[in-house]
Amino acid sequence: MAEFKLEAIKCKNCGSGLVVEINDFVTYCTNCGSGFEIVDGVLQPIEVNFASPVRPAEGELIYKPFWILKTSVTILERTSSGGFLKNLFGGHDGSGGKLKFYIPAFRMPVDNMKEMATAFTVKDPVPSPQKFNVKVTGFAYGKEDAMKIAEFLLISFEADKSDTMKTFRYEINVDSYEILGIPFYKLSNGNLKDAIIGLSI
């Protein structure tokens, strides 16, 4: 069994004690709303916000972490004619644009991961996240993982809409990494259902 030690971690901004669970690499100060990524034991500031539940209650409400990657995508070359990405970029000419990825940062089966990341990224259902005085824990995936999943999504958006895709070259730059706490209901059968779109995992 791996050894670990619990350390009392204090918010760099207000000095409050922070809740850090084993393996968490992001922590949020419920006192002042500051977020920190824990990199080699050092607290680096990161934006952490929350989404309000929009679906009615069906169980205990908890918050699960998503990475929000605000990116700039440039399509360098494509031989398919998929219009899907073009729509996502907001009516540009298809050569690229801004794309905000919602990537779950907590553990779930890969099919659920793809479904949930796709649904949230396409809908962009949380345009104005807020500071809440709630706990968000259970981080399983870091920035690098989130970036890989974002690229996988980008390619799948393009591929799903064309059965003849031959070439798709792109450049993706991350303008910012943020954390978004998404509300979920704990259902009586043990599953989780998000309180924004209503997907179950």
Binding site for Zn ion (CB under 5 A): 11, 13-14, 16, 29, 31-32, 34
**Rounded to the nearest whole angstrom, what is the least distance from the CB of residue 129 to Zn ion in the complex?**
18
> Nearest 5°: phi and psi at 139?
-70, 130
Tell me whether residue 29 or residue 69 sits nearer to Zn ion (CB atom). Answer: 29
Residue type, 161: K
**Rounded to the nearest whole angstrom, what is the least distance from the CB of residue 131 to Zn ion in the complex?**
11
Dihedral sign, Cα of residue 55, residue 61, residue 66, residue 68: positive
Cβ neighbour number for residue 62 with a 10 Å cutoff: 18
**Rounded to the nearest whole angstrom, what is the least distance from the CB of residue 66 to Zn ion in the complex?**
21
Long-range contacts formed by 157-163: CB under 8 A, 24+ apart? 157/82, 157/84, 157/85, 157/88, 157/118, 158/78, 158/80, 158/82, 158/84, 158/85, 160/82, 160/84, 161/80, 161/82, 161/83, 161/84, 161/85, 162/80, 162/81, 162/82
**Rounded to the nearest whole angstrom, what is the least distance from the CB of residue 176 to Zn ion in the complex?**
21
**Rounded to the nearest whole angstrom, what is the least distance from the CB of residue 45 to Zn ion in the complex?**
11
Tell me whether residue 34 or residue 137 sits nearer to Zn ion (CB atom). Answer: 34
Tell me whether residue 30 or residue 87 sits nearer to Zn ion (CB atom). Answer: 30
Tell me whether residue 14 or residue 76 sits nearer to Zn ion (CB atom). Answer: 14
Q: What is the rounded distance in angstroms from the CA atom of residue 52 to the CA atom of residue 182? A: 8
Tell me whether residue 135 or residue 161 sits nearer to Zn ion (CB atom). Answer: 135
Whether the CB-CB separation of 65 and 186 falls below 8 Å is answered with no
Tell me whether residue 14 or residue 155 sits nearer to Zn ion (CB atom). Answer: 14
**Rounded to the nearest whole angstrom, what is the least distance from the CB of residue 10 to Zn ion in the complex?**
8
